[in-house]
Structure 1
Amino acid sequence: MKKLAVIFSLLTVILVINLCNFKCVLCALEFFESDMPIYSIYDENFNLLFERDEVEIGDSYMSNDFKYYEIIYLDKESHKGIAKFVRNVEKPKIEKSYLPAPIKIEKRTICMYMTHNDESYVPSDGVDSVYGNGGIKDVALALKSELEKNMINVYLDDTLHIPHDSQAYSRSLKTAKNLISKYSPDAIFDIHRDGASRKYYVSNINGKEHGRVRIVVGKANPNMKLNEEFATYLMAVGNELYPWLFTDIYYARGHYNQELSSKAILFEMGSHLCEKELLLSSMKELSEVITTSLYNTTINNSSGELTINGIEDKENKVINKVLESKENNKSELFAISIVIILSAGVCVSTFFVFYKNLKNKKVGNKR
């Protein structure tokens, strides 16, 4: 009887432990379930502009027809907001060349990572987040595979940056720096998925559904203007090749590690309420837009006009080289400024020492 009592006690303890673990799993699932507030942002005439889960007053938005807005009001209870129209952004003039382009033998490198590795897709993954690599990694791998078909060396770092909190970007900064230091990429992408309704991120073209992509630019980094320029070129080329692909460019208050490169971009690959398969199937088109923008679209030095499949010459350079040149010039100007400031400081210090010595000498002579 004593043995049976001991066995019963052990079984009871095991049962309690399993129940506790099961409860923890349920709590985790409840935490990760799709109850995040989604904001609907309207213009001043109450026309719906866009949706997003993380918005702040002062954030900006550029529609894919290049209209620029700024959020001026948010209602935290109804999750609705107002954005005022600021200006029509001058859309880059763009044309396609149908002449055979010369064969290029060049090294092409792109790096990718995921600040929020946990992000997932509810219809396909069961939850919107997991503690580890979520469904977003599958989308990143699909983009990597498609880019590699375009003769690009792609390095995807799947280092975990969990938990999904305010320090995630500080953790992923190390990953991004390591990638840039090791591979010197032409561009570096942080792959995410957004929080919005399914309908906002799904486009129906001739009866076929496609997953859409948002470009995010951080307003709090010193490279913001160059990042914006790259984002604008991506959307302009995307509108020519696949008008359904990009939803917009969103300007948020963060830096998103984009200070590291003029061609650092954050992509929101659909919403947590989209089927992951829709985004997986859109990576071919996104890879084509990225490849065409970086390596096969020229910018005219005088007019700024873009030519898809343009031929490089003295007046026309591909976007990748133009942005790289601007970034190098910016770095050189910064270095020159530092030298000037230091030189001025040395001159002032030298003059002060000389003046002090001269003054002391005069005092000594008087004595």
Structure 2
Amino acid sequence: MNKMILILAVVLFSLSLASSGYTHQSDHYFNIVDEAGNIVYITAWEMQVGDECLTADNKRYQVTGISGNTAQAKFVGEINLSQYLDENQKSSFWWAALTPSVAEAQSSGKVAVYHTHSDESYVPTEGEESIFGNGGIYKVGDAFSKALRAKGLKTVHSTAKHDPHDSMAYERSRRTALNLIKKEQPEAIFDVHRDAVPPEVYKGAVSGQEVSKVQLVVGKYGPTGKQIEDYALQIKAASDKQHPGLVKGIFFAKGGDYNQDLHPRSMLIEAGSHTNSRQSAEKGVTLFADVIPAVLGKTGANPANQAGAAGIGTAAAGASGATKSIGWIIGLLIVGGAAFLLISTGSIKEAKAKLKQFATTEFTNFFAPRQSRRKKSGDDREDKK
């Protein structure tokens, strides 16, 4: 009897754990407040002490205490995202010279999309916040994939189902993510969700359109947490530049990894909330797709690109990364050789004389023996006749 009670208690405890974590109920979301009691962030992610968030204006807070649906947080600092913009790195001469362009040239230009929570839906459009195995989130994923393809990227959109909606859904979707990574070898993989907060949290005008904004979620648990964090900051930096206000913030979850340990460019995104229309979420992810080529170091093959931008897979893309790397190596050797010659001779005139001597004497000495050997071989053949 005691064993049965113990087993029942373990089962109930396991079920309670499975139902915790991310939640859908509109009356169960968290307000993160600063030291003065001002609300700085709102999300339905289950909160823990140590979780962090980055607001739309790039202020970072860390949760220090939780009381009901309110999380107290301390201000950590304001993050300068300009350091995460790709062009700031690549403007350096040495970055351009030493970056392994061959690897970049051989990259796939492919993005994978899937949905851990298959049921997530949008009440204004579908009439329900959850539709088992056939949520409106799939159509948001379709819109995201279509927009990425319009930018010249290849996409793979998995419609695998991972119901029910509980904390074990990430274990089930892990198989999907692994299969996508193994089979498709994407450059980036996105797990697309929607949040569960009041509509005004995500609703806004971005680049002249009324859309539902996007939230990025980073799992800090595990060895890849810092890498994924930097990737998220890079995405937000690019988004802030191209579509200011589109990314409403980043939530850094201390207690999970959300399968982001599987790929260095794995990101969980929230496209609006269940209280927003699905169409507005589709508009939001369409704008978000504009950001991805720049983050992956590519530009899309479409007329909307800025002047001078080359498209993936087009003639305008120019020489491959391998060709550029060889060009840099040859160029550096020539420059280095010229500098050495100038230093060793002491003047440009002496350097020219040395170069002329090398071109005449050294090359003559190099080729003459080969000519003699050829002549001798010819004589041998004549003797044998």
TM-score (structure 2 length as normaliser):
0.64
- Residues 220, 130 of structure 1: alpha-carbon distance in 2 compared, 3 angstrom cutoff: same
Whole-Å separation in 2 of the counterparts to 1:112 and 1:221:
22
Partner of 2:162: 161
Whole-Å separation in 2 of the counterparts to 1:126 and 1:33:
14
Partner of 1:177: 178
Give the AA of the match of 2:230: E
Instruction: Report the CA distance between 1:44 and its aligned residue.
Output: 0.8
Partner of 2:241: 240
50, 57, 61: which one aligns with 1:65:
57
Instruction: Report the CA distance between 1:256 and its aligned residue.
Output: 0.3
Q: Would you say 1:117 and 2:107 are equivalent positions?
A: no
Whole-Å separation in 1 of the counterparts to 2:121 and 2:298:
33
Deviations 1:276-332 (A, max 9, x none): 1111112221111112221248xxxxxxxxxx9699877xxxxxxxxxxxxxxxxxx
**Cα root mean square deviation, aligned:** 2.7
TM-score (structure 1 length as normaliser):
0.67
**Match runs of 1:1-367 below 5 Å:** 34-54=25-45, 55-76=47-68, 79-93=69-83, 94=85, 107-204=108-205, 208-252=209-253, 253-296=255-298
Give the AA of the match of 1:86: V
- Residues 287, 106 of structure 1: alpha-carbon distance in 2 compared, 3 angstrom cutoff: same
- 8 Å contact 2:28–2:44 — kept in the other structure? yes
- Residues 111, 84 of structure 1: alpha-carbon distance in 2 compared, 3 angstrom cutoff: same
- 8 Å contact 2:221–2:257 — kept in the other structure? yes
Instruction: Report the CA distance between 1:58 and its aligned residue.
Output: 1.7
Whole-Å separation in 2 of the counterparts to 1:285 and 1:108:
19
SS of corresponding position for 1:251: strand
- Residues 223, 96 of structure 1: alpha-carbon distance in 2 compared, 3 angstrom cutoff: closer
- Residues 114, 205 of structure 1: alpha-carbon distance in 2 compared, 3 angstrom cutoff: closer
**Greater fraction of residues in strand:** 1
Instruction: Report the CA distance between 1:249 and its aligned residue.
Output: 0.8
- 8 Å contact 1:292–1:309 — kept in the other structure? no
Instruction: Report the CA distance between 1:57 and its aligned residue.
Output: 2.0
Which ranges of structure 2 fall in alignment gaps of 5 or more residues? 1-22, 89-104, 300-307, 311-316, 326-385
- Residues 294, 211 of structure 1: alpha-carbon distance in 2 compared, 3 angstrom cutoff: same
- Tell me the matched-pair count: 266
SS of corresponding position for 2:119: coil
- Residues 71, 106 of structure 1: alpha-carbon distance in 2 compared, 3 angstrom cutoff: closer
- Residues 33, 167 of structure 1: alpha-carbon distance in 2 compared, 3 angstrom cutoff: closer
SS of corresponding position for 2:234: helix
- Residues 207, 242 of structure 1: alpha-carbon distance in 2 compared, 3 angstrom cutoff: closer
- Residues 309, 73 of structure 1: alpha-carbon distance in 2 compared, 3 angstrom cutoff: farther
Whole-Å separation in 2 of the counterparts to 1:33 and 1:110:
27
SS of corresponding position for 1:175: helix
SS of corresponding position for 2:48: coil
Deviations 1:170-194 (A, max 9, x none): 1111110000000111001101001
